[in-house]
Structure 1
Amino acid sequence: MTPDPRLLQMTLPQIQALRAREWGDRRPALREKEFGVWQEVSWGRFEALSRAAGMGFRALGLQPGEKVAVLADNIPEWFYTELGVQAVGGVVVGVYSSSVPREVAYSIQASDAVYAVAEDQEQVDKLLEVRREIPAVRRVIFEDPRGLRAYRSDPWLLSFEELLDLGRKEDAAQPGLFDDLRRKGDPGDVAVFCFSSGTTDLPKPVMLTHRNLVSMGYHFTAIEGFRPTDDYLSFLPLAWIGEQMMAVSTGLVAGFTVNCPEEVETVDHDRREIGPHLIFSPPRVWEAYVRQIRVKVEDSTRLKHWFFAVGMRVGERAADHRFQKRPLPWYLWLAHRFFRLTLYRLVQDRLGFLRLRKAYTAGAALGPDVFRFFHALGVNLKQGYGQTEAAGIFCFHRDDDVAFDTVGIPYPGAEVRISDEGEVLVRADSVCRGYHGREEESRELLEGGWLHSGDAGYLDERGHLVIIDRLRDVMRTASGAVFSPQFIENKLKFSHFIREAVVFGNELPYIAALVNIDPATVGKWAEDRKLTYTTYLDLSQKEPVARLIREEVERANATLKPEHRIRRFALLYKLLDADDEELTRTGKVRRGLIGERYRTLFHALYDGSSQVDVRVAYTYQDGRTAEMELAVPIWTVGDEALEVTSPGLPAAARG
């Protein structure tokens, strides 16, 4: 589909109104699974409910430019709120539903939100807990009334149905007002605040205009050929720019149907039912799919295990021929066709990918091993690159031009250049206005008229952009070997036994890592070998588990240059967690904080210790806390002698 260029001069609500006039009740805009049944919302009803929501906020007193925070999973009411609020001149602020109360308070304070929409009792309770810290919030609107009967006497709270009723009455009392307000909307108006990832600092509210979002969606649709008949499953947080990019801006421009799963826990089942044509996920989701497939294979018979291994080798060879634009030899063509019928389609069906035409990943680097794995299965997976400050992605692979080691080429109108320091700079209509309330940081971000990405990269001879790592994270060992910790971490995470890894080595004699085992796959491995354990902590410190992970580290090392190989590692006794601020809400590692928090382990990786005593604090489900002493072994990989040192502050490992 080639979108109408006139869309570039419209706001998101204006495009919604256009779609409602074009398709009315003939096509579904949204679909939600409720009580096991998929419920459709037509484009006409989508517009009507957005109108009621927008006029409801108008009746409550929302003024142009004021902000409405939304704390919810992917439910239709988020879309009604977003398009309705924008139509009357307001701005929507996405807040991750997984946020803890202090993070919710920070998001509302940093964005100056004056209203909040909360999905259910869990989200309402977070707002009530920090009520004194967010005095600017006038009302809280809740969508799901279950468990909130005792709260109804609180005038601060209002149900979403009451908001819609209020909006319908306001629309009837002032006919034409909503249409006038929507028509007066300007593409340069701020539409959404999405928060930056916050890997080294508190997340910052990024001001994204309608022009930013529509421009990105327009070019993405024009190049990739999205169709109004496509189905897209929206299961990633709408507070994340990646989901805003796909489900809202690209969804409106292309006109495809956005499907909302019943629950977070039912996403896999719902995906198989819908059979989406389009999927967009960050690397952690694709890595999880690989683990899921490999666990199934490990749990099968030796014959099936052998059959899968042979089929994947054939798939990888065929994929390499396609990427190099070489025809398949007749024998490879026959073998590939055989495995496509007997293996690849079966795995695709298991994942819900049988109708899949386009699959994308962005948000962080995807390891080339994971990339090759899916292309071997026949999944059209492509890498994109961008950031919140650019309304999503501005570089991505084309169908006939995929390379594992790049993130593709910019879309038309987006300029990319590399600074003298090696930083990726971009200039495009999708580049944001800056950070709300942070003028100095905004000037630094947009210095010289270019968006300073903070990423190190280069343009190769084909014009493809290659991302090395975050500029501040590119490291150099004491011997001068330059390396990307993220690249090495991705090599480790290709193992289905490893959930997360954090690599160190800046200005140090060698590279070392802290590793999180995957509790599901390692737990199954342990059970198969009758290795008993009680908790994650207990499992992670078992010697057989450490030997298993050492084999996985050695396997990853075999694919790395000698100077980039991991020489020492320790198994972390707890999973890294966003609630503990060790990961961002999008799953990115906060390397500096981890180095500081686990400084005892960090030092032991380099001072020659064979084990180190640590004091572990843990919390019971009833809220009680306790501490215990734990001896954590430090494991060495390889036989070469290591230089022992006493590193300084762990933060030095950040680069």
Structure 2
Amino acid sequence: MNAPLRSHPLPTTWPKHADGEPATLVAALARNAADHSDRVAFRERKYGVWQEQNWREVLEEVAAIAAGFEARGLTPGSALTIIGDNRPRLYYAMLAANMVRAFPSPAYPDIPLDELIAATRHGAPTVAVGEDQEQVDKLLELRAKIGRPTTIVYDDKRGLDSYDDAGIVSFDQIIAEGRERLARDPGLMAELIGKAGPDDVTVLLHSSGTTGLPKGIPLRHKNVTRGVLNAAQSGYFRKNEELFAYLPTAWVGDFVFTLGAGLMMVATINIPERQETVMHDLREVSPTFYLAAPRAWDQMLTRIQVGMKNSTPLKRWLFDLFMPRAVELERKRLAGGTPTLAEAIIDRIGDLMVYAPLRDYLGLTRAERAFTGGEALGEDTFLFFRALGIKLKQFYGQTETCALTAAQSEGHVKLHTVGRPMAGVELKIDDSGEILVRSPSVIDGYFDDPEGSAKAIIDGWLHTGDAGLIDADGDLVVLGRVSEVVRTASGERYIPNFIENRLKFSAYVRNVAVMGAGRDQLTAIVCIDFDAVGHWAEEHRISYTSYADLSQKPEVATLIAGVMVHVNKLQPEGLRIRRFVNLHKDFDADDGEITRTRKLRRNTIETTYAPLISALYSGERETVFDAAITYESGERGIIRRTLTISEVPL
């Protein structure tokens, strides 16, 4: 640990909102260092040991990085590219960029070069941060293609000792250079803390790019700070939270819910050793606030189910005895019912013997607030975790709103809504059924895109592109994308994504694309969940060798047909799926079929699988599909697959 800059008294003034709260993330950092200097700010598990830094130490390191960045040419209004997993110094680099009135622009760690070129076209970043050798190599490739970044800063030095490329420098060196500047200039610390204003960009994120090049989405300090404060006023954040930083740093959920809320709420931000140890480290942290995507909750449920199947007969018997009762009791509560005395006693016994141990096993014993968002979560999964005593809730938002638009609150949880608007958020549905949002957390426009900004934001109202409705209780129901409203040949309107989400409520369906625009019936291409279906196959003594082999088993086709039948019961007669095919692989972001946030690129799927779609509508029982693959060498080839087409029972 570097020696503290004790010769530099901490500033006592910084940009503030009218209510006295910090108006920038840098101001929040300075406030925390001044008022909560010894409180643990960041905790990182490294080599199996949790290492801590308090708020004062973090401020001093961030200021040193900022001074070093500035000396290396990071200028106001420019972007700082950041690629890597969650690491303290990557978060510090984001704040350091803000200190010099620049802004971080994080990218997903697995982003391919062509997408990285698109993601770095905004803000002309000449300085970049790569977590390790893999990311440095990627940034060097980027430089060879477009001539920048000229300076590449790395955190993990393993494998980089022999690199002699110009401009590659370690964080340790940047910090040392920055500390020298701070030591020479006693007023530099206060200057760096006061530079950024509420209207400055605090981070540049990007849209998923489902229909073209990703849009640059600049969140300003006022958007994030006011948005978090409004969410806290509504009860979604509390002071001194224990947060768990494992979400992708390029996702708005990580920047706002981890870094933004961490700073504004004086939280402790816990960082796992690596992605492979997330579940183990989660149990050691036991956060008070936990956010996960629907697929992560599904995987957690599968993990519990597999664990129980492999446990002792007594534990399996207790699980099978209490969990179904707990789920039905939770369903009753959500419907407004009150447990009988007998139900309450059984629930209490179940908590002592089953639910509490499982919460501890997951690391969610202290998770007073647990959320899911981004897409719909399956009803069975949602009910299971609430029955377990984890008060899971839905939230709704976009990157353009700092993901802070609406959320469920305890006592007002429904299975098919996303809750009510947060404090300071106005929400309405226009004549076309589109959801419009106006709030302090809404951006004022896209980066260098006046045309796109004018279309999306009119009179301060963000046109979200989502279709929805507000029910009688004031809860928002999200139906899908307005642009995805299509009609069948008979003229029935539907949103494919709404049906797809219902299908993905099943643990056995990982991805699915529903077709039917201009057709006389609906069909589907299904990507099975390999873990869930594989576990099901093992239970039913069905042998298989690979994803492709498992997907084409007749028993698996029957299993997925059952999912279709269940969803069809919820659909109007003209909008029921009649035929489907289980694909030989999952949709892949590297193949352009889905985005990094797992949203379908429908145009790509319809082009890539055009022969398969034709077979679905031609009445064929099976079809031969030539699948393009890319080998590790970069060479492309073709693998011929015979795929079975199944009918959905009426």
1:368 equivalent to 2:386? Answer no
Tell me how far apart the structure 2 counterparts of residues 499 and 196 of structure 1 sit (CA, whole Å). 22
Residue 32 of structure 2 aligns with an amino acid whose one-letter code is: R
- How far 1:380 moved relative to its partner? 0.7
Structure 2 matches for 1:74-85, cutoff 5 A?
A: 74-85=86-97
Aligned partners of 1:228 and 1:257 also within 8 Å: no
Once the two structures are superposed, what CA deviation does each residue of 1:436-495 show, in whole Å capped at 9, x if it has no partner? Answer: 121111111112321110000111111111111111123433344443433332333233
- How far 1:299 moved relative to its partner? 5.0
Q: Secondary structure of the equivalent of 2:436? A: strand
Match for residue 180 of structure 1?
191
Aligned partners of 1:427 and 1:449 also within 8 Å: yes
- How far 1:223 moved relative to its partner? 2.1
1:38 equivalent to 2:50? Answer yes
Structure 2 matches for 1:245-324, cutoff 5 A?
A: 245-299=256-310, 308-324=319-335
Q: Structure 2 residue aligned with 1:15, among 20, 28, 37?
A: 28
Tell me how far apart the structure 2 counterparts of residues 225 and 445 of structure 1 sit (CA, whole Å). 27
Q: Return closer, same or farther for 1:307/1:487 CA change in 2, 3 Å cut-off.
A: farther
- How far 1:142 moved relative to its partner? 0.8
Match for residue 457 of structure 1?
468
Match for residue 239 of structure 1?
250
- How far 1:116 moved relative to its partner? 0.5
Residue 67 of structure 2 aligns with an amino acid whose one-letter code is: M
Query: Greater CA deviation, 609-618 or 223-232?
Result: 223-232
Query: Greater CA deviation, 555-564 or 390-399?
Result: 555-564
1:142 equivalent to 2:169? Answer no
- How far 1:621 moved relative to its partner? 4.0
Tell me how far apart the structure 1 counterparts of residues 302 and 404 of structure 2 sit (CA, whole Å). 26
- How far 1:615 moved relative to its partner? 0.8
- How far 1:381 moved relative to its partner? 0.9
The TM-score normalised by the length of structure 2 is: 0.93
Residue 217 of structure 1 aligns with an amino acid whose one-letter code is: V
Q: Return closer, same or farther for 1:470/1:418 CA change in 2, 3 Å cut-off.
A: same
Tell me how far apart the structure 2 counterparts of residues 422 and 302 of structure 1 sit (CA, whole Å). 52
The aligned length equals: 635
Q: Return closer, same or farther for 1:124/1:184 CA change in 2, 3 Å cut-off.
A: closer
Tell me how far apart the structure 1 counterparts of residues 157 and 310 of structure 2 sit (CA, whole Å). 43
Match for residue 224 of structure 1?
235
Q: Return closer, same or farther for 1:403/1:22 CA change in 2, 3 Å cut-off.
A: same
Query: Greater CA deviation, 196-205 or 69-78?
Result: 196-205
Aligned partners of 1:51 and 1:178 also within 8 Å: yes
Residue 145 of structure 1 aligns with an amino acid whose one-letter code is: K
Q: Structure 1 residue aligned with 2:613, among 602, 616, 637?
A: 602
Residue 103 of structure 1 aligns with an amino acid whose one-letter code is: E
Q: Structure 2 residue aligned with 1:554, among 560, 565, 580?
A: 565
Q: Return closer, same or farther for 1:250/1:87 CA change in 2, 3 Å cut-off.
A: same
Q: Return closer, same or farther for 1:369/1:463 CA change in 2, 3 Å cut-off.
A: same
Tell me how far apart the structure 2 counterparts of residues 495 and 630 of structure 1 sit (CA, whole Å). 26
Q: Structure 2 residue aligned with 1:435, among 439, 446, 452?
A: 446
1:338 equivalent to 2:378? Answer no
Query: Greater CA deviation, 307-316 or 85-94?
Result: 307-316
Query: Greater CA deviation, 498-507 or 595-604?
Result: 498-507
- Report % sequence identity: 38
1:633 equivalent to 2:633? Answer no
- How far 1:527 moved relative to its partner? 4.3
Tell me how far apart the structure 2 counterparts of residues 366 and 527 of structure 1 sit (CA, whole Å). 26
Q: Structure 2 residue aligned with 1:195, among 200, 206, 224?
A: 206
Aligned partners of 2:78 and 2:103 also within 8 Å: yes
1:122 equivalent to 2:97? Answer no
Residue 290 of structure 2 aligns with an amino acid whose one-letter code is: I
Q: Return closer, same or farther for 1:344/1:420 CA change in 2, 3 Å cut-off.
A: same
Tell me how far apart the structure 2 counterparts of residues 621 and 98 of structure 1 sit (CA, whole Å). 15
Once the two structures are superposed, what CA deviation does each residue of 1:488-541 show, in whole Å capped at 9, x if it has no partner? Answer: 323332333322222222332222211112222333444455544333223222
Tell me how far apart the structure 1 counterparts of residues 316 and 516 of structure 2 sit (CA, whole Å). 37
Residue 37 of structure 2 aligns with an amino acid whose one-letter code is: G
Match for residue 97 of structure 1?
109
Q: Secondary structure of the equivalent of 2:162? A: helix
Q: Secondary structure of the equivalent of 1:270? A: helix
Tell me how far apart the structure 1 counterparts of residues 544 and 633 of structure 2 sit (CA, whole Å). 22
Aligned partners of 1:515 and 1:571 also within 8 Å: yes
Tell me how far apart the structure 1 counterparts of residues 634 and 165 of structure 2 sit (CA, whole Å). 28
Q: Return closer, same or farther for 1:303/1:599 CA change in 2, 3 Å cut-off.
A: farther
Q: Secondary structure of the equivalent of 2:19? A: helix
- How far 1:392 moved relative to its partner? 1.6
Structure 2 matches for 1:555-574, cutoff 5 A?
A: 555-558=566-569, 560-574=571-585
Match for residue 547 of structure 2?
536
Q: Return closer, same or farther for 1:9/1:351 CA change in 2, 3 Å cut-off.
A: closer
Query: Greater CA deviation, 262-271 or 502-511?
Result: 502-511
- Structure 2's unaligned 5+ residue stretches are 1-15
- Structure 1's unaligned 5+ residue stretches are 640-655
Aligned partners of 1:71 and 1:97 also within 8 Å: yes
Q: Secondary structure of the equivalent of 1:516? A: strand
Q: Secondary structure of the equivalent of 1:421? A: coil
Query: Greater CA deviation, 32-41 or 166-175?
Result: 166-175
Match for residue 645 of structure 1?
none
CA RMSD of aligned residues (A): 2.2
Tell me how far apart the structure 2 counterparts of residues 384 and 494 of structure 1 sit (CA, whole Å). 17
- How far 1:69 moved relative to its partner? 0.9
- How far 1:272 moved relative to its partner? 0.9
Residue 79 of structure 1 aligns with an amino acid whose one-letter code is: Y
Q: Secondary structure of the equivalent of 2:591? A: coil
Aligned partners of 1:87 and 1:185 also within 8 Å: yes
1:211 equivalent to 2:211? Answer no
1:24 equivalent to 2:37? Answer yes
Q: Return closer, same or farther for 1:494/1:297 CA change in 2, 3 Å cut-off.
A: farther
1:523 equivalent to 2:534? Answer yes
- How far 1:124 moved relative to its partner? 0.8
Structure 2 matches for 1:161-172, cutoff 5 A?
A: 161-172=172-183
Tell me how far apart the structure 2 counterparts of residues 567 and 23 of structure 1 sit (CA, whole Å). 61
Q: Return closer, same or farther for 1:118/1:374 CA change in 2, 3 Å cut-off.
A: same
Aligned partners of 2:234 and 2:423 also within 8 Å: no
Residue 393 of structure 1 aligns with an amino acid whose one-letter code is: L
Q: Return closer, same or farther for 1:440/1:142 CA change in 2, 3 Å cut-off.
A: same
Tell me how far apart the structure 1 counterparts of residues 477 and 193 of structure 2 sit (CA, whole Å). 41
Tell me how far apart the structure 1 counterparts of residues 20 and 28 of structure 2 sit (CA, whole Å). 7
1:508 equivalent to 2:510? Answer no
Match for residue 8 of structure 2?
none
Q: Return closer, same or farther for 1:90/1:556 CA change in 2, 3 Å cut-off.
A: same
Q: Return closer, same or farther for 1:582/1:9 CA change in 2, 3 Å cut-off.
A: same
- How far 1:187 moved relative to its partner? 0.4
Residue 147 of structure 1 aligns with an amino acid whose one-letter code is: G
Tell me how far apart the structure 1 counterparts of residues 122 and 386 of structure 2 sit (CA, whole Å). 42
Aligned partners of 2:466 and 2:481 also within 8 Å: yes
